[in-house]
Every structure is written in C-alpha cells, then in structure tokens.
Amino acid sequence: MAPYSDLPTPALVLSLEVLERNLATMATARPGAALRPHVKAHKCTGIARHQVRAGHRSFTCATPLEVVGMARAGVGDDLLLANESVDPRRLAAMAAAERETGVMVTVAVDSNTTVDMAAAAGLRHVLIDVNVGLPRCGCAPDDARSLAERAVAAGLIVRGVMGYEGHLMTVPEADKPGKVEACMSLLVDAFDSLVDVAGEECRIISAGGTGTYHVFGGDDPVMSRINEVQAGSYALMDSSYGAQPLPFEQALYVVGTVISTTAGERSSWAVIDVGLKSLGMDHGNPHIDGASVWFCSDEHTTFSMNDGSLPTIGDRVSVRPAHIDPTIAMHTDIHVVPRWGENVTEVWPVDLRHW
C-alpha cells in the first residue's frame, strides 16, 4: 500500500467506498439493462468492472478505442458506439473485436454514408441516431424510417433508436421533465415510424444522462417508453453535476501539492501544482472546499482560503473538477483508496483514453 502523502501530483484519487455508493444508488433506480453506463466519463475498465458487479452488462462508448478496449478486456457483453464514425480502419477494428470476442457491437448511424460504411466494415448492428434538439449528431426524426430501410437492405440489424438531450442536463429541475418529454416524443415517434421495417430485434429506445436519468419511467405514455439510459458521470461526479439535486457524491478528486504561498497585507493566496493540463475547464473553474479559486494556468491553480488562513507548503489539496470526462482523459492512472484519508491500495490505468 502506498501512503497518500507519497503520491506524485497532480494525481487522480478515487474513493472506492463512494464509488460503490454511487453505483448502488443508480443500480437501484435503473437496474440491469435499464442503464447503459457511459464509459466516456471514466475511460477505465477497472471502474467498468465494478459497474458490471452492480448488475450492468451493456455499456455506452464514445470512441472506437473504448469499444475495442472494453471488448478485449472482457467487460460487458453489449457495447454501443453512441457516435458516428467514418474511419474504415476503426469501423473494421470494432467489427474484428466483435468477431473475436463474441461481444455484441452496435454503432450509431445518422446518414446514408454511416449506414453504408458500417455495413462495408462488417458490422452487424446499428441504432438510428435521432436529433432530439441538441445541434450535434442525429438525423431528422422524419428521416429515421428511410435510414432503417437502407440499413436493413444492407443486411444490418436495426436494434432501435437513440437520442441525446444533452442540452437539458443542467436546466432547472422544475423545467426539466417537460423539456425532456418534448425531446423524447420526437424519439418515440421516430421509433414507431420504423419498427415495422426493422423487425422483431428493434426494441431499444435509448437516451438520457446523469442529469436526466430520474425523469424517465412512470405511467407517462412517452417517458415510460425510454428503456435504457446512457448515464456516465454519476459514478464519479464533478462540480457541474454536483450543483444539481442529484443523489450522487464526489468520488474522485485531482490531488495537488501546495508549492507556494503568499501572505499579503490585503490578501493571501496559495498555489498548487494542478492546472489546465490536468483539469477539464470547459465548465468553468474547479472547486476546492473551503476556498475560493482565483484562476488556473498551465501548471498551477491559485486560490485563497475562505477563513484567511494559509496552507503549508507541501500540503495536499483535493480539487473537484468542473467536468469529469475531459479531466480523466488528461491522466494515465487512477489511484484507489478504500475510503478518504486512507492509503492507496490499487492503481487502475485509464486504459480507454484516446480514439
């Protein structure tokens, strides 16, 4: 076991106790196949294995490397690339991984080109990706049927539809159900338009994320139709999701070391060796409990303690990133502690990084 104080910083540190609580909370709300955990949030087969133990066998991936890496590691048995790819080498690599491991690989398609390239690469299963309001990937809802027809004609199995209402993950809670339902009605209508073309294996209506997982289900004729949710950040959390009324805890911090302090007449500040090269910054500054973050530069974060005190040079400081997904991608390893304050017992590689 490695003492916490010996970690080279900046370092990702994960509480296994908190991770397991988060996984159990989600598994209770969305057990088994009702959740398709998104590995883009953690990019780590070590964490994915714990999600399998929580009862989930199907996973969402953002990159072909995540698909191939999960398949080769034997984690899960149903992998979805919830993203379009037009790289024939990467498409072929996913098809080869499916043949060699027996894991089912499904890819999202939203155009004639992506349908044709999936078929040419030897892939067998697709989801029709439908634009439900986020201006990113996805076909127009009215085009879903024709894409399904093209896929079936190309010998592909259409397993259903997916749509991501990512623009609604952080809207106020009072507004969320109605806004999400408006998006999901587009997705459900698209599914209903193509199910007779796709046949009996067309069953999936996939959507959602950590910010909306709780609004699906019940007796609502639209929301009850969403049968799997692609949540990812719930496992580790960040300050962006942490600002919402969600039942998940921060399980991972970027730990830094105080390398400089300044006691000024009007203000005092400290600097740690955690900066832009170790933090995802697209959702704003990171958070430090009991402190105000002033700014981040390449290798540094400058902050002041709210009580006016100064930490000691050499002290460890836990930084809560604002966006967990790009933060994880900047690191090679996750240092696991059984619970906060204890020594590191395992190191899990971030083995699903890159593309």
> What's the mean pLDDT in 31-44?
98
Contact (CB, 8 A) for 246 and 278: no
Residue 334, pLDDT score: 98
Tell me, yes or no, whether 107 and 60 share the same domain: yes
Q: What is the per-residue pLDDT across 309-329, written as a single tens digit (0 to 9) for each?
A: 999 999 999 999 999 999 999
Q: What is the per-residue pLDDT across 91-107, written as a single tens digit (0 to 9) for each?
A: 999 999 999 999 999 99
Q: Residue 146, Cβ neighbours under 10 Å: how many?
A: 15
Whether a cis peptide bond, with omega within 30° of 0, leads into 10 is yes
Q: Distance (Å, rounded) from C-alpha 281 to C-alpha 169? A: 18
In a domain, 225, yes or no: yes
Q: Distance (Å, rounded) from C-alpha 172 to C-alpha 316? A: 35
Domain boundary among 235, 268, 288: 235
Contact (CB, 8 A) for 272 and 257: yes
Contact (CB, 8 A) for 51 and 23: yes
> Can you give the CATH number for the domain in which 256 is found?
2.40.37.20
Domain boundary among 199, 215, 235: 235
In a domain, 157, yes or no: yes
Tell me, yes or no, whether 186 and 311 share the same domain: no
The two three-digit tokens of residue 201, written as one number: 């294996």
> What's the mean pLDDT in 51-73?
98
DSSP state of 69: H
Q: What is the per-residue pLDDT across 238-293, written as a single tens digit (0 to 9) for each?
A: 999 999 999 999 999 999 999 999 998 888 999 999 999 999 999 999 999 999 99
Q: What is the per-residue pLDDT across 171-195, written as a single tens digit (0 to 9) for each?
A: 999 999 999 999 999 999 999 999 9
Q: Residue 167, Cβ neighbours under 10 Å: how many?
A: 14
Residue 32, pLDDT score: 98
Residue 264, pLDDT score: 84
The two three-digit tokens of residue 162, written as one number: 């997916």
Residue 31, pLDDT score: 98
In a domain, 224, yes or no: yes
| Coil, helix or strand at residue 214 | helix
Proportion of the chain above pLDDT 90, given as a percent: 96
Q: What would the DSSP string read from start to end of 72-98?
A: HHT--SEEEE-S----HHHHHHHHHHH
In a domain, 46, yes or no: yes
The mean pLDDT value of the chain amounts to 97
In a domain, 241, yes or no: no
Q: Please work out, in degrees rounded to the nearest 5, the angle formed at the alpha carbon of residue 271 by the alpha carbons of 266 and 274.
A: 150
Residue 39, pLDDT score: 98
In a domain, 240, yes or no: no
Domain boundary among 171, 200, 235: 235
Residue 191, pLDDT score: 98
In the block, tokens 């209506």 appear at 205
Q: How many domains does the chain have?
A: 2
Q: Show the domain range for 67.
A: 16-235
Q: What are phi and psi of 63, to 5 degrees?
A: -130, 155
Tell me, yes or no, whether 345 and 299 share the same domain: yes
Q: What is the pTM of this model?
A: 0.96
Proportion of the chain above pLDDT 70, given as a percent: 100
> What's the mean pLDDT in 209-216?
97
Q: Distance (Å, rounded) from C-alpha 191 to C-alpha 257? A: 52
Tell me, yes or no, whether 168 and 226 share the same domain: yes
Tell me, yes or no, whether 158 and 220 share the same domain: yes
Residue 232, pLDDT score: 98
CA-nearest of 191, 225, 228 to 208 is: 228
Residue 5, pLDDT score: 81
Residue 2, pLDDT score: 73
Q: What would the DSSP string read from start to end of 172-185?
A: -TTTHHHHHHHHHH
In a domain, 354, yes or no: no
Contact (CB, 8 A) for 258 and 250: no
In the block, tokens 């930084």 appear at 319
Tell me, yes or no, whether 23 and 79 share the same domain: yes
Tell me, yes or no, whether 228 and 333 share the same domain: no
> Can you give the CATH number for the domain in which 229 is found?
3.20.20.10
Residue 3, pLDDT score: 78
Q: Distance (Å, rounded) from C-alpha 292 to C-alpha 295? A: 9
Contact (CB, 8 A) for 286 and 239: yes
| Residue 4 scores a pLDDT above 80 | no
